[in-house]
Amino acid sequence: MERFELIAPCHFGLEAVLKREITDLGYEILRVEDGKVTFEADARGIADANMYLRTTERVLLKAGELRAETFEELFEKTKELPWEKYIPENGKFWVTKANSVKSRLFSPSDIQSIMKKAIVERLKTVYHRSWFPEDGPEFPIRVSIMKDIVTIGIDTSGASLHKRGYRLSTVKAPITETLASALLMLTPWRGDRILVDPFCGSGTFPIEAAMMAAHMAPGLKREFTAQQWPHLVPETIWKNVREEARERVKIPAETDIQGFDIDENAIKAARANARMAGVEKMIHLQRRPLSELHHSGSYGFVVTNPPYGERLEEKEALPALYREIGERFNALDRWSMYLITSYENAERDIGRKADKNRKIYNGMLKTYFYQFLGPKPPKRGPEGNRQGSKGVE
């Protein structure tokens, strides 16, 4: 079966998480660069990557890489690529996005139009026609230019992969599903451990955690552009991958995943989203202020995306809010806390220096993922109970 080079973009700072996901799927990593991981796969890999990867925004099929310092060079080298291998005679194709960093060619609109013309000229000579109806399957093309090196990818995903198909209801400033998944993967949390998000908004952290606990593929409820490409990824492959993903789902008998928010509308949105995702029975969602954050269990996790203070009036309330976060966390028994925020004084106001601190770009916003590590729980005994130093807890 033919091998392809696939490019998976991700948030800056989370490349290692995505690399591990791809490796776990069984595909070979070719390169890890800022904000993207390139790997080799066959047609099955295109379907697997779209169905199972939780932390990438999309999966691009690499059509070519070239060096261009002038628009004439860009045109000629783009025209040399074997576009007929990917785009059939009735295919609809366009350069949906072009970005350029530290390069001589920097106008996105010019890059887009010149490359479109080059592809048309190539296909004219191959298909022996002067006009294309473009009424068939879609082939959105994405171009990235870095230091005059042009990387061209065909988007196999369509809508960004953070759109899992469950988010019908949103509230202000939601964290994306891909970022929430990546942050959860940076913690030692597993489905049999306690997880609480006291600022859950529309429920992204609890829902993504529940999907992980149930081994629910993130792409199970959505479609992908490459499903229209039977000449590259046969329909049987998509059918098999989807069936296998359904068979993997195992809703655990018990979970302790909770989401709270002071906003009643946020909780309503979270409940609607959890229902749509099929995990509503795995999550407890409730309107509750931060002051009521408590739990009788030990060794749990707080994973959250608290307010950053984008507006001036919110900024003034941040010191008191983060002090309260610290107080409520300290009252929990041997817990760990992970929070993402752009608030620079988070550690000072929480009253404790984070054990780890990771810089992550959430879009253009520089944020910090603070990790306050609690003790590891005792190992489970032969009956599955926790073995403490004084016997079974």
Q: What is the per-residue pLDDT for 232?
A: 98
Distances (CA, A) of 376 to 23, 135, 193, 383: 27, 58, 12, 19
Torsion over CA: 248, 253, 259, 265 (sign): positive
- The residues with which 139 forms a beta bridge, in sequence order, are 93
Q: Are strands 356-362 and 365-372 parallel, antiparallel or unpaired?
A: antiparallel
Tokens 């191959």 belong to residue = 126
- Got the DSSP string for 184-229? HHTS---TTS-EEETT-TTTHHHHHHHHHHTT--TTTT---GGGG-
Greatest Cα pair distance, the chain, in angstroms, is 82
Token pair recorded at residue 186: 């940076």
Of 2.120.10.30, 1.10.10.350, 3.30.2130.30, 3.30.565.10, the CATH number of 4-155 is 3.30.2130.30
Banded model confidence at residue 54, pLDDT cuts 50, 70, 90: very high
> Position 341: which residue type?
T
Give the pairing of strands 336-341 and 301-304.
parallel
Residue showing tokens 């960093």: 101
Residue 392 is predicted with a pLDDT of: 26
Backbone phi and psi for residue 286, each to the nearest 5 degrees, phi listed first: -155, 145
85: number of Cβ within 10 Å: 11
The domain defined by 177-217+231-372 folds into Rossmann fold (3.40.50)
Please report, for the chain, the start and end positions of each structural domain, with discontinuous segments joined by +: 4-155, 177-217+231-372
Mean pLDDT, the chain, whole residue set: 94
Range 259-283 average pLDDT: 96
CA angle 311, 312, 314 (to 5 degrees): 70
Strand partners, 37: 8, 32
CB atoms within 10 A of CB 221: 14
Backbone angles phi, psi at 107, to 5 degrees: -90, 110
pLDDT in tens, 149-164: 999 999 999 999 999 9
When pLDDT is averaged across residues 136-142 and rounded to a whole number, the result is 98
pLDDT tens-place string over residues 177-231: 999 999 999 999 999 999 999 999 999 999 999 999 999 999 999 999 999 999 9
